[in-house]
Structure 1
Amino acid sequence: MGRRSPKAARIGSLVAAAVALFGIQLDFFALNLAIPGIADEFGVTASAAQWTLSGYMLALGCCFIIGGRLGDVFGRRGALLAGTAIFAAASVWCALAQGLGPLVAARIVQGVGAGIVFPVSVAVVSNAFPDETRARALGAVFGIANIGTALGPFVGGGLTEGPGWRWIFWLLAPLSALALFVSALYVPDSRDASAPRQLDVLGCCAIVCALAALTLAVERGSAWGWDHARTLTLFTVAAVAGVLFLLRERHTRHPLVDLRLFRNAPYVMVTGMGAVANMGFVVTVFLTTLYLQGVRGLSPLMAGVVFLAPALLTALSGPLGARLGRHMRPTAVMVLAGAIAGTGMIALSHTTAWWLYVPVFAWCGLGLGLGWTYSSVATQQVVDPARAGEASGVLLTFLITLGGIALASAAAAIAALTPERAPEEAYEVILRIGGAAILAASVLVMAVSHRRARSAAE
């Protein structure tokens, strides 16, 4: 590694991170359209097959904070290699699984690998590039990763109708191997020099317990009933473990999360807007999938084709955000993203004609993609690069956890609305409420930013 030039190290870090994140994005968005095929092959219900997504999300949400801090403390190169290797091995396990149980177990392991790779990749690029080119590099990484988002529905629908859903995972294996190879050759090591090589194990246990209980309660609440004893017990466990985590982090010498991070107002605003945008993103994708296949009667492959335009604009949002970030404050970019996303969701709820539906859906994808993608770039601009992994891990935890809550809330709202309304009317109501919420969040962030700017000027 010492013989590698700084330029080669920067390019290698960018390529390794981009390929790894491309595979993770492709995996998630491709498998959404494969759930019916998995249910048919294993002879289970679609609700049971949904655990291939739920188990993955559960592991992913629990590992972001730990994965980011692992890289900061023990070295980001080693963490990236370990996470990529876990993701690759689990992808092969998924492809070979002969039952739903082994597949869900493999998906949980895959989620652990992705939970390490995602925040560490962001930190690797942040530390490889100087301040003046860091945002551009992160924008390029997320632009490439979001191509996986763009291709995911198309690839998932095509492979499910063609050779089968297992080929989604066989496709991930060589991509992960390439990321592993480039990481081993070119990624330089970096870490938080101020942190001792030890991890807050009790803090890790508390946050994993809190997030796992919360995610499971949200995922199963609509099936069990929100007032069921199991649901209420899980919410209680999540609350108690969350409080214990905060108390632990306040008093331990080397916390997993430095709570002073939340005194950084720009970081909090960017994280909040990113979480709101991601909530809108997952809900819009969920509702549109139901609408295209349930109301419009499209096949998974044709539904994937309709997703191409918004997904491609989502992919372009990475470089676009980096370019805008050179001329605007991070919070201003997030407000702009919220304005595009909110108006897009509301407009989509009023659109039925195909000639207008696709461009409006694309506009919606641009705003939502810019919101959740640029938040990962923006947080790296407002925190110390030494704690880049921690900042990224906290952001991603909020994005995934709140995204899961939004998805469960949308499903519960559909169940509550459909006895009195047609399904498409329920989808429209939810889109309008979501769009209005994103616009309200944008106005709030704009007002707070303006007030802070006036206070600084005085």
Structure 2
Amino acid sequence: MVRPTATETATTVTTRGAGWALASLALSMLLSSLGVSIANVALPTLAQAFGASFQAVQWVVLAYLLAITVLIVGVGRLGDVVGRRRVLLGGLLVFAAASVLCGLAPTLGTLIAARALQGLGAAALMALTVASVGASVPPERTGSAMGLLGTMSAIGTALGPSLGGLLIAGPGWRAIFLAMAGLGVVTFGLAWRWLPDRERKATAGPAGFDVPGTLLLGLTLAAYALAMTVGNGRFAGANLALLLAAAFGAGLFVAVEARAKSPLIRPSALRDAGLGSGLAANALVSTVMMATLVVGPFYLSHGLGLDAAAVGAVMSLGPLVSAFSGVPAGRIVDRFGAPAMVGSGLAAMAAGCLALALLPGLLGVAGFVAAIAVLTPGYQLLLAANNTAVMTGVGPDRKGVVSGLLSLSRNLGLITGASVMGTVFALAAATDDFATAGPEAVAAGMRITFAVAGGLMVLALVVATAGRPRRPLTEDAG
């Protein structure tokens, strides 16, 4: 028998280690997306269990999303300062501990507070999984790794409602959080054993962390997120005041960062066209994907007359297509390069939006499914290519904060899409009461909404094409 050489043995160990490290990152991404979708299905049960209104139990979901949105950039920067592996492991511990607190919560207020803490852990998972890819896999496999993370995010979204429903029907609603705690412990064990710690830290001391900038950005993002979510879809004085506060906070943040010794986001990054185009594309495509989740169920039920079970079955196709197309999309990026595939993904999404505007009116459910089959793989291709393009051009000392910005742009797009695209749909259908709206009005709203969405994809394509190649974003840049 021929014995393997020392070099072959080392290569096998390294490859195996990279595989387990990537598995820990994939499970981390699964946890963060599962934390959203698995709680949604529990809202009616929670309202009954705590004797609370639907508006009150909605904060079980909103607290989680707001915590992620407010904290994700700061947590990403903290990973740059003290080490991404260390902060990711800490995020897994926080997520698991908060999940236990959620499962044991005696009151709704306690549950909401625990969910906010869980969102802190999820912010670390979202920001640092993407940032840790470069230290965990060879460069030629970066696109495939990004595609896998996109697949796990889609699986978490698709798995949440079915898994949550089974657990609620069996052990009860507390089991959904305790199950996440168990998965968090398993993921922590994998990451502790296999995740490498090869990144160069930005600084050896706490002076490298911009506390004023982090707090100011968090307050600004909180104001914007609340402006998009309060009021139950109606834009009133409180929404305007929050938007004005967010605009003022954004201006003040830029001014503070220009004077900071070690800013959270360097002024040079704010001026970088390549990074800006990547973040803008991420936000725009997330806005459009949220439109499918907000508008799709109304059109299927009130425009095509499907019952609730059929609507659920059709709407589940999107996450399923995402789950199966993520890894192939990553391999395509590795094969043909990220810049070209960003344009291809956006073009496919624009075609999918046009198909959603036209085909359901011609072919019914089959037209809706065909359009989703074009839109969703385009979205996965765009995510894999855009994340690869942005993170490849980032210096090792800024990967955490830029990864946090990518996740933040996605979350802001989802929040904006739920509010703005829902408003476009209502205006296009000329009604606020979809329960009594006729099929023609709902169909008109569908057509116009996705015509607007197609325009957003064309805009994203123009922005992405105009983004020039970037120099690496390092600690010394800017």
Contact 1:19/1:178 (<8 A) preserved: no
Note closer, same or farther for the CA distance 1:338–1:113 as it changes in structure 2 (3 Å cut).
same
Q: Distance in 1 between matches of 2:380 and 2:74?
A: 25
With the length of structure 1 as denominator, give the TM-score of the two structures.
0.87
Greater Cα offset, 346-355 or 175-184? 346-355
Contact 2:158/2:316 (<8 A) preserved: yes
1:180-202 CA deviation, whole Å, 9 max, x = no partner? 11112222224444434221111
Note closer, same or farther for the CA distance 1:436–1:51 as it changes in structure 2 (3 Å cut).
same
Identify the residue that residue 394 of structure 1 maps to in structure 2. Answer: 405
Out of 411, 423, 438, the residue aligned to residue 422 of structure 2 is: 411
1:442 aligns with 2:461: yes
Contact 2:291/2:422 (<8 A) preserved: no
Contact 1:274/1:334 (<8 A) preserved: no
Identify the residue that residue 383 of structure 1 maps to in structure 2. Answer: 394
Contact 1:75/1:190 (<8 A) preserved: no
Q: How many residues align?
A: 445
Q: Distance in 1 between matches of 2:203 and 2:431?
A: 53
1:226 aligns with 2:239: no
1:322-359 CA deviation, whole Å, 9 max, x = no partner? 22223444333222222222222332244163344333
Out of 215, 225, 238, the residue aligned to residue 225 of structure 2 is: 215
Letter in structure 1 aligned against 2:220: A
Note closer, same or farther for the CA distance 1:194–1:159 as it changes in structure 2 (3 Å cut).
closer
Contact 1:60/1:115 (<8 A) preserved: yes
Identity of aligned residues (%): 29
Contact 1:270/1:334 (<8 A) preserved: no
Identify the residue that residue 255 of structure 1 maps to in structure 2. Answer: 263
1:148-202 CA deviation, whole Å, 9 max, x = no partner? 2332344345555666544432331221111111112222224444434221111
1:362 aligns with 2:373: yes
When the two chains are superposed, the root-mean-square deviation of aligned CA atoms in Å is: 2.9
Q: Distance in 1 between matches of 2:387 and 2:312?
A: 26
Out of 445, 452, 456, the residue aligned to residue 433 of structure 1 is: 452
Contact 2:147/2:380 (<8 A) preserved: no
Q: Distance in 1 between matches of 2:319 and 2:165?
A: 14
Note closer, same or farther for the CA distance 1:134–1:329 as it changes in structure 2 (3 Å cut).
closer
Contact 1:278/1:371 (<8 A) preserved: no
Q: Distance in 2 between matches of 1:372 and 1:121?
A: 14
Letter in structure 2 aligned against 1:105: A
Letter in structure 2 aligned against 1:39: A
Out of 242, 247, 257, the residue aligned to residue 239 of structure 1 is: 247
Q: Distance in 1 between matches of 2:258 and 2:281?
A: 26
1:411-438 CA deviation, whole Å, 9 max, x = no partner? 3345543259547333443233212321
Identify the residue that residue 130 of structure 2 maps to in structure 1. Answer: 122
Note closer, same or farther for the CA distance 1:177–1:202 as it changes in structure 2 (3 Å cut).
same
Identify the residue that residue 330 of structure 1 maps to in structure 2. Answer: 338
Note closer, same or farther for the CA distance 1:187–1:44 as it changes in structure 2 (3 Å cut).
same
1:80 aligns with 2:91: no
Letter in structure 1 aligned against 2:373: A
Contact 1:39/1:45 (<8 A) preserved: yes
Give runs of aligned pairs for residues 179-190 of structure 1, distance below 5 A: 179-190=187-198
C-alpha deviation, 1:70, in angstroms: 0.9
With the length of structure 2 as denominator, give the TM-score of the two structures.
0.84
Contact 1:19/1:179 (<8 A) preserved: yes
Greater Cα offset, 396-405 or 24-33? 24-33
C-alpha deviation, 1:393, in angstroms: 0.7
Letter in structure 2 aligned against 1:210: T
1:59-89 CA deviation, whole Å, 9 max, x = no partner? 1111111111111110111101111111112
Contact 1:72/1:390 (<8 A) preserved: yes
Identify the residue that residue 313 of structure 2 maps to in structure 1. Answer: 305
Q: Distance in 2 between matches of 1:152 and 1:321?
A: 23
Q: Distance in 1 between matches of 2:306 and 2:197?
A: 51
Q: Distance in 2 between matches of 1:266 and 1:179?
A: 34
Q: Distance in 1 between matches of 2:116 and 2:387?
A: 24
Contact 2:302/2:442 (<8 A) preserved: no
Greater Cα offset, 433-442 or 161-170? 161-170
C-alpha deviation, 1:40, in angstroms: 3.8
C-alpha deviation, 1:263, in angstroms: 4.0
SS in 2 for 1:326: helix
Contact 2:300/2:306 (<8 A) preserved: yes
Contact 2:155/2:320 (<8 A) preserved: yes
Q: Distance in 2 between matches of 1:163 and 1:287?
A: 33
C-alpha deviation, 1:452, in angstroms: 7.8
Letter in structure 2 aligned against 1:424: V
1:400-420 CA deviation, whole Å, 9 max, x = no partner? 123212211233345543259
Contact 1:266/1:382 (<8 A) preserved: no
Note closer, same or farther for the CA distance 1:31–1:428 as it changes in structure 2 (3 Å cut).
farther
Greater Cα offset, 78-87 or 418-427? 418-427
Identify the residue that residue 456 of structure 1 maps to in structure 2. Answer: none
Greater Cα offset, 182-191 or 354-363? 354-363
Note closer, same or farther for the CA distance 1:100–1:430 as it changes in structure 2 (3 Å cut).
farther
Which consecutive residues of structure 2, in runs of 5 or more, have no partner in the other structure? 1-11, 471-478
Q: Distance in 2 between matches of 1:89 and 1:356?
A: 45
Contact 2:142/2:334 (<8 A) preserved: no
Contact 1:154/1:307 (<8 A) preserved: no
Q: Which one has the largest radius of gyration?
A: 2
Note closer, same or farther for the CA distance 1:227–1:100 as it changes in structure 2 (3 Å cut).
same
Contact 1:317/1:373 (<8 A) preserved: no
Q: Distance in 2 between matches of 1:354 and 1:157?
A: 26
Out of 345, 355, 371, the residue aligned to residue 347 of structure 1 is: 355
Which consecutive residues of structure 1, in runs of 5 or more, have no partner in the other structure? 454-458
Q: Distance in 2 between matches of 1:307 and 1:178?
A: 31
1:96 aligns with 2:104: yes
Q: Distance in 1 between matches of 2:397 and 2:328?
A: 26
C-alpha deviation, 1:30, in angstroms: 3.2
SS in 2 for 1:44: coil
Out of 27, 52, 66, the residue aligned to residue 44 of structure 1 is: 52
Q: Distance in 2 between matches of 1:159 and 1:305?
A: 20
Q: Distance in 1 between matches of 2:165 and 2:425?
A: 24
C-alpha deviation, 1:56, in angstroms: 1.4
